Structure 1
Amino acid sequence: MTATNGGSIWVGLDLGTQSVRALAVNADGDVLGSGTQKLTSRRDGHRHEQDPDQWWKAVSAAASEALRGLEHRNVLGVAVDATSGTILLADARGNPVTPGLMYDDGRASGETDRVNQAGSHVWNELGYQRMQTPWALPKLLWLLNDPGTPTAGTRLLHQSDFINERLTGHPVPTDLSSALKTGAHLIEEKWPEDVLDALDVPRQMLPGLVRSGTRIGTVSADAARATGIPAGTPVISGATDGCAAQLGSGALKVGSWNSVLGTTLILKGVTRNLIQDPLGVVYSHKSPDGDWLPGGASSTGAGVISRDFAGKDLGILESLAKTREPAPVLTYPLVSSGERFPFAAPQARGFTLGTPEDECDRYAAALQGVAFIERLCFDYLDLLGAPTDGSLVLTGGATKSPYWNQLRADVLGRPVTLPQNAEPALGMAVLAASPDRETADVAAEMVKVRQVIEPRPDVAGRFDDSYVRLITELEQRGWLDPAAAEHAIKRTNA
């Protein structure tokens, strides 16, 4: 950023499941204003819907709150992220004719096999092998096959497209990040027409495709009155919420990774080349700069702490856990049944080897078990040929625990970085400031580092035996691929 941008701001809008978050950020990454508005869902079995008009009302209120008192500032851009795979059908004017089918709506199970049969050659080329039922393309087929859905003259919109159309007042192209789960061919950066034809999806239903970080319009006068974002402000194509969080973490150079430890564990990194995963547990988005953003989501995570230690004094347990390194028992801490990454095993269940003497044994084993799976994820990524030698940024709710941060650095045997603020709305502010620049360079200026944690020298190798024991157990149960197990053990013993 240049000195002439000293009074300028960029707006990031983040649509999550439960709320909309807006940030107004300056060139140095300082948050000058913020706003939050709640969202409500309708859930019933596999159904999960939201009202698209509610999204716009919440965006308008959150943006207005974030910009209150900043009228003297020069707003240079706005970008929107939204939940991955959330779609709706709209008419020619952008008015919704269906609810928003959310990212985890599971009613398209009957369409999933057909999607995978028709598009297997594309999904294989893109490295994720097959689509899953909650992805956008199966849900689009479900909508088209539903007798109650008005489809004549309608268009498919992703959640972020709907907001961008309200901001600009006209149809807009969608970003490649949001379009991944709708079947976009990310290598060719176009829709796979042969697949769409085989599935009887009218091509005119789909928006155009652009990379994240592309100018797609300007804020209209009507939108300016609703949101407080000045008319004429450039609207920049955004990304999914997961990619937005990665942008906000600053992990955007090749070989760098963002490990998000919340309820579950999610890893996202940057590679020069597309990663091919024969198991399909790693899939890649395309970065604004043309690199690839591979990632995977495990079913382990901090959710085991809130589930298994509800109401306990975690501060006391952490202080005692420091004396149990390694823990006398070994735990594979699954938040829910089935594993997704670093291996695919729907039949997997959490387990503990050995008998804990007290609650502290259980707690220490849970913390270490999550760290072991995180390490196994990196070993698997290395097996696939992904560079992992760059910076590692930790984000997510679990980073509130200083001890767990240190433990993860020790188990991984590498420094970890904690950013000052890594929320998705910040990532969208970074993206809004990125046209005509390398996104990684902008992030380096706007994402601030809070702390760098080095592994303790005296702990080197302390957890290796427990880690290898977990690998061996996962392989013997038939969940972990033998080649992945062998590679992880080889790296441990190197």
Structure 2
Amino acid sequence: MGVDLGTQSVRALAVTDDGRVLARGSAPLTGHREGDRHEQLPADWWQGAGDAIRQTLSALSASARPSVSASGAPARGRARVRGVAVCGTSGTVLLTDARGVPLTPALMYDDGRAGAEARYAQETGAEVWDALGLRIQPSWALAKLLWLTGGGGGGGARGSVKISDGTGALRGARVCHQPDFITTRLVGRPVPTDSSHALKTGYDLHTRSWPTALHDRLGLSGLDFPAVVAPGTPLGTVCAEAAADTGLAEGTPVIAGMTDGCAAQLGSGAWEVGRWNTVLGTTLVLKGVTATPLRDPAGVLYNHRSPDGHWLPGGASSVGAGALSHAFPGADLARLDRLAADREPASVVAYPLVSRGERFPFLAADAEAFTLGRPADDADHYAALLQGVALAERLCLAYVRFLGAPIDGPVTFTGGATRSGYWNQLRADVLGRPAALPEQADSALGMAVLAAHAVTGDDAARRMVRIRTILEPRPEAGRRFDGPFVTLVDALERRGWLPSDTATYAREHG
């Protein structure tokens, strides 16, 4: 079973070791957004995870149809969960007490309030981050920890949570990433985090250690940073209380997961060096496979470690399908898709940020969504948003090529937006590359793959991922978007957000 903690919902998937999805479940999540702030309550994650898992198990039980035994007597097949892994949004963090009880709300992956703290962390640990090829961003968990504890010169929450004695001396509050909260509840005690979620908290994937000397300089040494294990490591087993809450059998193995972007990579089938996957949900995540870490002087691309030893460079943009739900709440998107097909290209060019600030393929905390011109009507506006996401995705791929990354074979599309067949073809056309679509486009599948790998010890992914179709780009359609692409690049550069060398490369080679 794989469990995916998304922005708007928790999803669970029960999958056989040959890739058949037997059952699924989901539960909604809500949060609080205000300006740069985006928070959720960890208790809601646990409630949602329990609901989604129970739905999945109920459907799994219902799918076990009666059969006839060799003796002629009725028999019922019985499915059991052999392992469960959990993924979450990258950079989402909170503080708990030693037992795992929340002391703070969760600051979500795109919460941007810790700008001053990010600058302080970057300047204080410049030699560490330069060696790792990282640049601390306001959305990263490390900056948010400084905000939560009132450190880093930004004011933050000093005194608003009961972890400080007023002098900055911390009282053992535990750093907790989004999936850690769920795995802690499943096992019944605090468990190690995985190296994938720990990356944006400053964990060194090369030495496999926390930078404790830097923690001292940042004033974070009093925090309890969890032990870190590789994705796919057994964390423990489901305890009695969690079994009662979720319906999972007591004793079910709980496996260390990865971030949702890495989970989607595992579930996409794009495992070989040179292969890339884009996850399009509320926002856009691009991740590929390289033999060595991909060096990015700007620090907007970061390298996760794959369970097989390869590297997974990538980044998370703040553009995405969330712009559609914001602009057209409750609309019939299938009808709008049909209308958008006649608006290629739209009369305007849009940059559809979901929230303020951009993280990839450039860093601009003050970036805001914009539309160049006035749409003729709703269909024109909707088409511009679809096309704007595709143009941003094209810019992301141009950036990784600019850094020297190989891009071989089809780009794999995963994420909730792949439900739109029109948008899939549009994106392939705009990218000018074939697009592979797996049968299941859910990060929860990647976690099921990782759980299977952990409990069987073999190369489960090769059997579990099924490619549904490969979309070929239509050259004549793609050429229609060359002009809008350059227009968008020019606008981003003119606003001072996109560096000139990146803009020049994108115009010439993107």
TM-score of the aligned structures, taking structure 2 as reference length: 0.82
Cα distance in 1 between the residues matched to 2:38 and 2:491:
37
The one-letter code of the counterpart of 2:219 is: D
Structure 1 equivalent of residue 21 of structure 2: 31
The one-letter code of the counterpart of 1:410 is: D
1:117 pairs with 2:128 = no
The one-letter code of the counterpart of 1:137 is: L
1:278 pairs with 2:278 = no
Structure 2 equivalent of residue 250 of structure 1: 269
- Structure-2 change in CA distance of 1:206 and 1:416 (3 Å): same
**Which structure 2 residues correspond to residues 211-360 of structure 1 after superposition, within 5 A?**
211-308=230-327, 318-319=337-338, 321-327=340-346, 330-336=349-355, 338-346=357-365, 348=367
Match of 1:195, SS? helix
**Which structure 2 residues correspond to residues 52-63 of structure 1 after superposition, within 5 A?**
52-63=42-53
Structure 1 equivalent of residue 89 of structure 2: 83
> Which residue among 134, 149, 152 is the counterpart of 2:162?
149
Deviations 1:111-148 (A, max 9, x none): 3333222222222233232232x432233334444334
The one-letter code of the counterpart of 1:103 is: Y
Structure 2 equivalent of residue 140 of structure 1: 145
Cα distance in 2 between the residues matched to 1:74 and 1:51:
31
The one-letter code of the counterpart of 1:414 is: R
The one-letter code of the counterpart of 2:243 is: A
Cα distance in 1 between the residues matched to 2:246 and 2:285:
32
Instruction: Tell me whether 229-238 or 64-73 shows the greater mean CA deviation.
Output: 64-73
Cα distance in 1 between the residues matched to 2:35 and 2:371:
31
Q: Which runs of 5+ in 2 are unaligned?
A: 65-76, 151-157, 164-169
- Structure-2 change in CA distance of 1:106 and 1:131 (3 Å): closer
Shift of 1:428: 1.1
Whether contact under 8 Å (1:92, 1:153) holds in the other structure is yes
Q: Number of residue pairs matched?
A: 480
Cα distance in 1 between the residues matched to 2:324 and 2:105:
35
Match of 2:256, SS? strand
Q: Which runs of 5+ in 1 are unaligned?
A: 1-10
Match of 1:75, SS? coil
1:371 pairs with 2:390 = yes
Structure 2 equivalent of residue 128 of structure 1: 134
**Which structure 2 residues correspond to residues 377-396 of structure 1 after superposition, within 5 A?**
377-396=396-415
Percent identical pairs in the alignment equals 56
- Structure-2 change in CA distance of 1:311 and 1:461 (3 Å): same
Structure 2 equivalent of residue 20 of structure 1: 10
The one-letter code of the counterpart of 1:27 is: D
Structure 2 equivalent of residue 64 of structure 1: 54
- Structure-2 change in CA distance of 1:312 and 1:491 (3 Å): same
Match of 1:490, SS? helix
Whether contact under 8 Å (2:356, 2:367) holds in the other structure is yes
1:194 pairs with 2:199 = no
Shift of 1:198: 1.2
Match of 2:502, SS? helix
Structure 2 equivalent of residue 4 of structure 1: none
Shift of 1:281: 2.4
The one-letter code of the counterpart of 2:195 is: L
- Structure-2 change in CA distance of 1:149 and 1:413 (3 Å): same
Structure 2 equivalent of residue 185 of structure 1: 204
Structure 2 equivalent of residue 484 of structure 1: 502
TM-score of the aligned structures, taking structure 1 as reference length: 0.84
Cα distance in 2 between the residues matched to 1:24 and 1:361:
40
- Structure-2 change in CA distance of 1:422 and 1:92 (3 Å): same
Cα distance in 1 between the residues matched to 2:3 and 2:80:
17
Cα distance in 2 between the residues matched to 1:484 and 1:200:
36
Shift of 1:429: 0.8
CA RMSD of aligned residues (A): 3.3
Cα distance in 1 between the residues matched to 2:87 and 2:214:
27
> Which residue among 440, 443, 450 is the counterpart of 1:431?
450
Match of 1:451, SS? strand
Match of 1:450, SS? strand
The one-letter code of the counterpart of 2:141 is: A
Instruction: Tell me whether 44-53 or 288-297 shows the greater mean CA deviation.
Output: 44-53
Instruction: Tell me whether 385-394 or 347-356 shows the greater mean CA deviation.
Output: 347-356
